[in-house]
Chains A and B, each alone.
Chain A
Amino acid sequence: MSNFVAELRDVHKSFGNTVVFCDVNFAIAERDTVSICGDSGSGKTTLINVLGLLEPPTSGRVIWESCEVTYTKMSRVARLRSKIFGYIFQQCNLIPELNVVENLMLPKRIAGEAGEADVDFVRQLLRQTQLTKFENRAVSTLSGGERQKVAAIRAMVNRPRVIVADEPTGNLDEKSANLVMDAIVGLCNSCGSALLLITHNKRFAEKMQTSYVLTNMRLRRME
């Protein structure tokens, strides 16, 4: 038995005739920190989408917690996904109609299990990232860095096994990028989640235990 949280085996993905990647074997274990680098358009986002089954692979198998889920029903996948993956995107995708706490409680609401304990947990994470004062602010009044930190907390709310961050610092300057990255790593450590980071930033990539590069339609491990 492996203790991998999520795995891709011999995965091939193409859009029509365009092959994005092929023969990808990839796994992320508990508390692992992994980075994936690659040129723009090399298929990094597609790779994590396939890993989270937001998009089906053209061939190959997707395995979550030792169970194959490649052909599982969408509603079940949606439920499982929220337990296993927490997503942070480049554009942070906070819901503008909700304030900070409401945004943070949204994953719990969707899972149908929002309770007092979760509000406390959210408050604790806000404290950890020095965002307590923004608790009831409208998201449109936050700076880019602050928003990204809020998005990081939201990814954490369901205590997922893996945080998948797709270029979370892409829109930020050096200083706030560092702050946001520290916040993400800090949150992952305190909650015991693995981190799968997609980044163009070499420095951030080197901090991870394992690094991969996606080039020429292949995923290669960097030693």
Chain B
Amino acid sequence: MKWYAYFAWKQLFPTGRKLSFFSAMSIFGVALGVTVLFVVQSVMDGFQHNIRRAIVETQGDVRVESQDVECQGLIHGTDNLVSFLMNFPDVAAVAKYAYGITMLKCGGRTAFPMVKGIDVENEPKVVDLLKFVKHGSLEGLDCGGIALSSDLAVKIGAAVGSRVEIYSPLMVENSIDGDVILPKTLEVTMIFETGHHNTGRNTVFIAIDTLQDFYNIGDGIHGIALKVKPGVPTEKVAFALNQSLRYPLVAASWQEMNRDFLFALRMEKTMMFFVLVFILLISAFSIAGSMLISVIRKTREIGLISAIGGTVIGCSMCFFLQGAIIGIIGSTIGIIFATTVLCFRNVIVYSFAKLCGVEDFMLRFYSFANMPARYGVGDIFSTMAFAITLCCLAAVVPAIKVARINAAEALRSE
């Protein structure tokens, strides 16, 4: 070991004492900064990942929709289009859909959900609908059943087997003409839960034929959802489709459809990073400050080391290495802290919530039942490297100050 590395180590961890106060504080500061930075970035990443997954799982990879406003975005006579899409390169599955707003009634309780008519056979091939089934099964939809989100089921007090009345906006239009259309009664055959309240919380599913019938739109659909073969970029397929589709048909990947939202998510993470970096910056500044004081306190020792054969550059290196050591130890402890916190994050969050009496807040405000977190080895190394670099930079100033010390003057200093 080079003498200055040894000396740097001993300055931080003097013989006989466990830890110097300066190193304890500095290491703790860096560790704290790294912990907060890493935990927050991992949780942000987790949210981002979950939201993206929730979008893909509930919307499909690519959607083909019509931009024609005149016929309310409806596409008619879709057999050719469906077979064209089926045979399109890199497309794994297709499913038609149509949707509308409806009023739902069960007992005396009502709700105004979005009703989506799905192709019962093909929909599960495009989105992971089966994954979300909580009670009942999807097949029931074909025999005039309806699938409710669990939130909605709770809200109107329905369960599998309950009968719900569904009202179409057409009823209002027709009643003006004097006709009376009675509401349709459907049996709840499935209850699903996506775990993400924006996607699917206020949605009900019925078979597409039922919906077409109910809304009197003939064979009209609102669009076709596509599943892309694994590993193929969805944007690429959407682009290729747009080359061959003619107006008013337009293909959009899920990234494109949610571009603003995804951008906001990324932006949020970046902003959080910038805010939290200040914790690390502050600890770097305090390290620089303490080290400058220690340079002044140790001027005589620096002179002495020159007198016993050390170079001033070596002394300067010694201070630089102190910064590096603080960075390495601090960031390692920080990562250990952070991974522990992340490991017990749900316990921590729930005990905290319990303490404040807001146990369901996670689901209410953050859309997910559990707090997500996501990190990899790369994240660990980049966070550590970042913290260590900051500490080294902090040590550069004291190191430069040492390099300018004159040995003879240092020996004279009080």
Contact of A109 among B6, B301, B411 (CB under 8 A): B6
A46 to B412, CA, bound (A): 10
Q: Chain A contacts of B353 at CB under 8 A?
A: none
Q: Is the CB of B308 within 8 A of A98?
A: no
- Can you give 16 A-B contacts (C-beta < 8 A)? A45-B412, A54-B303, A54-B306, A54-B411, A78-B309, A82-B309, A83-B309, A86-B308, A87-B307, A87-B308, A93-B303, A109-B6, A110-B3, A110-B314, A112-B3, A158-B309
Contact of A102 among B10, B311, B313, B407 (CB under 8 A): B10
Residue B292 interfacial (CB < 8 Å) = no
Q: Is the CB of B308 within 8 A of A95?
A: no
Given the contacts A102-B15, A138-B15, A110 and B307 also touching, CB distance less than 8 Å: no
> CB within 8 Å of A: which of B354-383?
none
Q: Min CB distance, B199 to chain A, in Å?
A: 60
Q: Min CB distance, B309 to chain A, in Å?
A: 3
Q: Is the CB of A154 within 8 A of B16?
A: no
> CB within 8 Å of A: which of B374-414?
406-408, 411-412
A97 to B13, CA, bound (A): 8
Residue B304 interfacial (CB < 8 Å) = yes
Contact of A82 among B14, B301, B304, B308 (CB under 8 A): B308
Residue A55 interfacial (CB < 8 Å) = yes
* Size class of the B contact interface (CB-based, 8 Å): 20 to 34
Q: Is the CB of A111 within 8 A of B309?
A: yes
Q: Is the CB of B311 within 8 A of A49?
A: no
Given the contacts A54-B407, A75-B311, A93-B304, A109 and B3 also touching, CB distance less than 8 Å: yes
Q: Chain A contacts of B212 at CB under 8 A?
A: none
Q: Chain B contacts of A54 at CB under 8 A?
A: 303, 306-307, 407-408, 411
Q: Is the CB of B314 within 8 A of A49?
A: no
Residue A115 interfacial (CB < 8 Å) = no
Number of interface residues of A (CB under 8 A): 34
- The secondary-structure label for the interface of chain B is helix
Residue B185 interfacial (CB < 8 Å) = no
Q: Chain A contacts of B52 at CB under 8 A?
A: none
Q: Is the CB of B408 within 8 A of A78?
A: no
A138 to B16, CA, bound (A): 7
Residue A89 interfacial (CB < 8 Å) = yes
A95 to B302, CA, bound (A): 10
Q: Mark B275-315, 1 if CB is under 8 A from A, else 0.
A: 00000000000000000000000001101111111111110
A85 to B6, CA, bound (A): 23
Q: Chain A contacts of B309 at CB under 8 A?
A: 78-79, 81-83, 107, 110-111, 158
Q: Min CB distance, A156 to chain B, in Å?
A: 11
Residue A145 interfacial (CB < 8 Å) = no
A75 to B11, CA, bound (A): 23
Q: Is the CB of A89 within 8 A of B10?
A: no
Residue A99 interfacial (CB < 8 Å) = yes
Q: Min CB distance, A118 to chain B, in Å?
A: 13
Residue A74 interfacial (CB < 8 Å) = yes
A93 to B304, CA, bound (A): 7
Q: Is the CB of A98 within 8 A of B408?
A: no
A102 to B11, CA, bound (A): 13
A111 to B308, CA, bound (A): 9
Interface core residue of B16, B309, B407 (most chain A CB under 10 Å): B309
